[in-house]
Amino acid sequence: MRTPLIAGNWKMNGLRRDAEALARDVAAAVTASEGVEVLVCPPFVHLDAVGVVLADSGISLGAQNCADAGQGARTGEVAADMLVDMGATHVILGHSERREFYGEDDGLVAGRYRQALEAGLTPVLCVGETLSERDAGQTEAVVAGQIRGITDRLGADSLGPGVIAYEPVWAIGTGRTASAEQAQAMHAFIRAQLAGIEGESAASARRLLYGGSMKPGNAAELLAMDDVDGGLIGGASLDAGDFAAICAAATRD
């Protein structure tokens, strides 16, 4: 049985006091439960402060990226072991905003993925098609390519404890969410791809998150789908009440 994971991607929002206040509000609003795992991913510079607030809350801490190399001459990057040192257990990798605005490609994401695993972090690998790719009928090829972008480079058994987040780019921050059926169809496709790469048993254990305008009003329907094992939440994760409502919708008794 896959325990649902609800992850908040705070993106590039908030000063330290805002991050601390949000973390306090999230810790107060989210009911700790064995039926759901909860993760928040603040900007790098707030990891330490948020980690202090979340200590003993049962809520996990993650970063939004990590370097593709160990410590050394990589100006502007943050090494995976530095994130572990801040108390992070997870790291988002390959987010479409990184791919779009910073030119990250599958090779770079694979290098980051390897470093995350070596440091003991659980990667949350983002995949998803743009609207023009969907309209051109390329959705499955794009998503399969992004997964193979990791496994072709690192090996068929290389995903480790990683989580895959399907985030259709056209649904991110647009208020336009994939329908539950669209999400389920892609999640089933991803699981079938994974089965072909890493085998049935690893694929059926792997958690697949949906991301893209998930809100309290649509979370229950999306999370009820067989292959949707949680959510990667952007905008709604900046509101503790909304985030807690999504966590509650994911809780399985």
The one catalytic residue in 90, 95, 129, 133 is: 95
* Contact status: 9 vs ligand 13P (CB under 6 A): yes
With b for 16 or more beta-carbon neighbours within 10 A and e for fewer, the 55-82 pattern comes to eebebbbbbbbbbbeeeeeeeebbbbbb
> CB of residue 46 vs ligand 13P: minimum separation in angstroms?
17
Residue 138 three-state SS: coil
Q: Which residue is nearest to ligand 13P (CB)?
A: 234
> CB of residue 92 vs ligand 13P: minimum separation in angstroms?
7
* Contact status: 228 vs ligand 13P (CB under 6 A): no
Q: Mark the segment that binds ligand 13P (CB under 6 A) among 26-34, 71-79, 147-155, 228-236.
A: 228-236
**For this structure, is 77 an active site residue?**
no
> CB of residue 196 vs ligand 13P: minimum separation in angstroms?
26
SS (H, E, C) 92-111: EECCHHHHHHCCCCHHHHHH
Residue 210 three-state SS: strand
State the number of binding residues for ligand 13P (CB under 6 A): 14
* Contact status: 14 vs ligand 13P (CB under 6 A): no
Burial classification of residue 251, based on how many CB atoms lie within 10 Å of its CB (0-12 exposed, 13-18 middle, 19 or more buried): middle
Among 62, 123, 149, 235, binds ligand 13P (CB under 6 A): 235
Phi, psi at residue 158, to the nearest 5°? -90, -5
Restricted to residues 75-114, the positions that interact with ligand 13P (CB under 6 A) are 95
**For this structure, is 97 an active site residue?**
no
Of the candidates 194, 192, 246, 189, which has an alpha carbon nearest to the alpha carbon of residue 223? 246
Q: Which stretches of the chain bind ligand 13P, using CB under 6 A?
A: 9, 95, 167, 172-173, 211-214, 232-236
Catalytic residues: 95, 167
